Chain A
């Protein structure tokens, strides 16, 4: 999963990476072991809320810096600190609120706002996560978009048991020309990726206009009036037809 995320990040030189929810440092180990010919080794900083997992990481003697921190409380880094961020199976925990004092939406927005600020312009974040249901999935991606990210979801092996969701976030426009600066630019040139753009469909729907005076137009107007609570005559097959000339 970390390798797939790195592929999505597309880093060409040794970089400073934030590992959100690093746990025992498994993904961090991969980050520091990247071959120099592939743009490594990267230096990383890991955040995790679990002290016991960090203890395991200490015993494994990982190279990155570790921090005990709750990502739902924000990301305590100065603006523009990191080249990229990576998160493996962690951000779904943001949807859980332990007490009534904190809400899951508040935690999500604090995390994404903090992450957005701490990444440099043109930086990317890839978060692999397991949403409990469709609602959680939209909640997480919605919070990311609200924070200002260009967000998109990449699904590996959809429909199978080991399907994986990657939330790909971009900050600002991408440095190279032509790419839109969101996920469609990220996956461009990757093999076996189908792009399903829900936004485009929505836009086209809005653009198609009905001709004034046509039957469809009359029906939509009647519907509109009915919604307003006005008395509207019933629609039939004669609705919108011209009267016969001899009438």
Chain B
């Protein structure tokens, strides 16, 4: 599960829909792997306005990455700064969680990740 996807995932439990704590999901006991993916600067420019930067820095610090700058770079800054672009590419697309758990900050539900696949199936009473 790429960190990019993690930045969009929320808790699936119905009662958590209205709570702000249900996003982002907190990774727990995670194993990370890194793949090599050809750089795709246009995609990063495309998703940048939709990224929740605060959530991304929370996730990154929880996974033990160096802290990110406080504010998200603007599109122009990113276009000029190739190093920034490469770092974002490594963080968002090449790093992925292979094993571990995602925990909701509101209800505490744990979603298991096995071989990179997160299990979001819920028992009927939580839907």
Query: Residues of A with Cβ closer than 8 Å to B?
Result: 13-16, 41-43, 45, 47, 49, 54, 58, 63, 65-70, 73-74, 76-78, 80-83, 99, 101-102, 110, 118, 120
Contacts and interface: CB of A to CB of B under 8 A. Distances in A.
Contact of B5 (A15, A45, A68, A69): A45
A58 B115 contact: yes
Interface string B27-53: 000000000010010110011001010
A171 B37 CA distance: 31
Given A43-B2, A78-B52, 6 more contacts: A14-B43, A45-B5, A69-B118, A73-B122, A78-B8, A120-B50
A67 B118 contact: yes
A110 B127 contact: yes
Closest 4 CB pairs of A and B: A69-B120, A76-B12, A14-B43, A81-B8
Given A74-B127, A76-B12, A81-B50, A69 B43 contact: no
Contacts of B5: 45, 65
B101 interface: no
Interface in B61-112: 93, 96
B56 interface: no
Nearest to A42: B43
A120 B46 CA distance: 12
A101 B42 CA distance: 45
A43 B93 contact: yes
Contacts, number: 88
10 contacts: A13-B46, A15-B46, A45-B8, A63-B37, A67-B119, A67-B120, A69-B119, A70-B120, A76-B12, A80-B50
Contacts of A63: 37
Nearest to A83: B46
A16 B40 CA distance: 12
A76 B5 CA distance: 11
B10 A43 contact: no
Pick the most buried of A16, A54, A80, A82: most chain B CB atoms within 10 A of its CB.
Answer: A16
